Amino acid sequence: MPDVDVCVVGAGFAGLTAALRLTQAGHSVAVLEARDRIGGRTLTEQRDDGSYLDHGGTWVGPGQDRVYALMNEFGVPAFKQFVDGEAMMVVDGRQYRYSGTIPWSMNPLVSVNLGAAFLELRRMCRAVPVHAPWAAPKADKWDRTTLAQWLDRTVPMRQARQLLGMALAGTYTSAPSEISMLFVVAQLASAGGPDFVLGVQNGAEDARPVGGMGAVYRAVAAAVAGDIHLEQPVRSIRQDADGVTVRSDGSSVRTKRVIVAVPLAIASHIDYEPMLPTDRSFLHQRMPTGAVLKTHVIYDEPFWRDDGLTGQSAAPGTAASVTLDACTHEGRPGVLCVVAEGPHARQLSRMSGADRRSAVLEALTARFGRKAGAPVDYTEQNWTVERYSGGGMISHAPPGVLTEFGHALREPCGRIHWAGTESADVMMGFVDGAVRSGERAAREAIAGLSGTLPAAPPLAMA
């Protein structure tokens, strides 16, 4: 491969955006991607009937200005998530229909519990500086507390606790006992608070790109001057006095700067020479990914809309614990997206495919009626076993990690710059955060190329 100014590792939104901005600034780039496709933790399937399914990251919302900027740049419009109806909550076998984020129609005490928890989360978010959550006044206290404990203390009623736990831990696709409360608050704060992250309309699931995320990442990739090499898992990154050599199985690139834009657990598989500073290599050991299984169930039409339902539902403990309307901008065919996260996703993964399908369709039928049991198609995407995601959707910080090692999330290591949504201070965990991280890493690399960053900040001591 020819020498380049910057080598980008990973062709998800972070890496592709970085490569685009470098191209636009006149720099040569090479992108090395381990998979046989681009898109990273987003993946749009284009179907014969003209529809598209987003198997990974899907939505955009207000305040996600950088992914919207990218969409505008390439002429990709957005369409609104369908919200013209009621959502559904199933608790202890009983169904409740409601509008808005909190199901006030349910047991009023449950709703009061949820409302109080939201107030508390909003208050906590205001106390967190998004660029340095570890500097929050109560950072030490929150970082020694798990989300599970916070739920135990803040949400006395079991049903409310279960619902909020599913909503919050769901994002992190791991058990609430694994997750630092400081990380939860930092992630919520990075997106403006719990109302955005847990909301649909005007929230994190407000709209989608027409054509799916693939319409965006394909356009970005096409605008990158320089090759995007697929099936090139990077094995080693060797820095020396003059530059960097990046090696995959069969080839190598000589470059001046590297942007690593893969999940932290995947970045840990790369052999770095010299070794990374301790706090960065320890961070690689300490931000695991979770389990997520995303199923699309396709019908001739979105029959639930006729019943006054949005298709959005939450039913803890069932085989279809979370559902969402996943129709395209044309509204046909009818697509329900069923998301299983964390321990629930691991449990479903242990079933045979046929048993899992039966269980999911049975749960959907109980919720949406007989039509739900007779789909025209059914597809699964199990991110948990994606070798080059290390799991899905995002990495979380267990207790103690942000206060001890969080500062290393973005600090360049010599000629290596770090991207990926986990390194974003705004909209962390979203596609927008990935885009922002790619743009920030590109700015750093450009500064490095022009000599306004030190050539080689300190690396590990021997």
Q: Which residues of this chain interact with a copy of itself, rule CB under 8 A?
A: 140, 143-146, 148-149, 152, 174-179, 235, 265, 268-269, 271, 275, 278-279, 281-282, 285-286, 288-289, 291, 343, 346, 349, 382, 384-385, 387, 390-391, 398-401, 403-404, 460-462
Torsion of CA 409, 412, 416, 421, to 10 degrees: 30
Both tokens of 363, joined, read 């749960």
- What is the nearest approach in angstroms of a copy of itself to the Cβ of residue 347? 11
- What is the nearest approach in angstroms of a copy of itself to the Cβ of residue 182? 10
Side chain identity, residue 10: G
Chain mean position to CA 6: 25
Are the beta carbons of 235 and 271 closer than 8 angstroms?
A: yes
Smaller CB distance to a copy of itself: residue 127 or 265? 265
Secondary structure (3-state) at 295: strand
Smaller CB distance to a copy of itself: residue 241 or 462? 462
Smaller CB distance to a copy of itself: residue 174 or 421? 174
Smaller CB distance to a copy of itself: residue 159 or 381? 381
CA distance linking residue 241 with residue 237, whole number of Å: 13
CA angle 300/306/308 to nearest 5° reads 135
- What is the nearest approach in angstroms of a copy of itself to the Cβ of residue 318? 20
Smaller CB distance to a copy of itself: residue 113 or 281? 281
- What is the nearest approach in angstroms of a copy of itself to the Cβ of residue 284? 9
Side chain identity, residue 47: R
CA distance linking residue 93 with residue 366, whole number of Å: 10
Smaller CB distance to a copy of itself: residue 63 or 342? 342
Q: What is the DSSP letter of 231?
A: S
- What is the nearest approach in angstroms of a copy of itself to the Cβ of residue 278? 5
- What is the nearest approach in angstroms of a copy of itself to the Cβ of residue 380? 10
- What is the nearest approach in angstroms of a copy of itself to the Cβ of residue 355? 12
Smaller CB distance to a copy of itself: residue 231 or 300? 231
CA distance linking residue 399 with residue 288, whole number of Å: 12
Task: Please name every residue paired with 254 in a beta bridge, in sequence order, or none if there are none.
Answer: 245
Contacts 24+ apart (CB under 8 A), 383-386: 383/41, 383/56, 383/291, 383/292, 383/293, 383/294, 384/290, 384/291, 384/292, 384/293, 384/345, 384/346, 384/349, 385/349
Report the relative pairing of strands 334-341 and 292-299 from DSSP bridges.
antiparallel
- What is the nearest approach in angstroms of a copy of itself to the Cβ of residue 453? 21
Smaller CB distance to a copy of itself: residue 260 or 427? 260
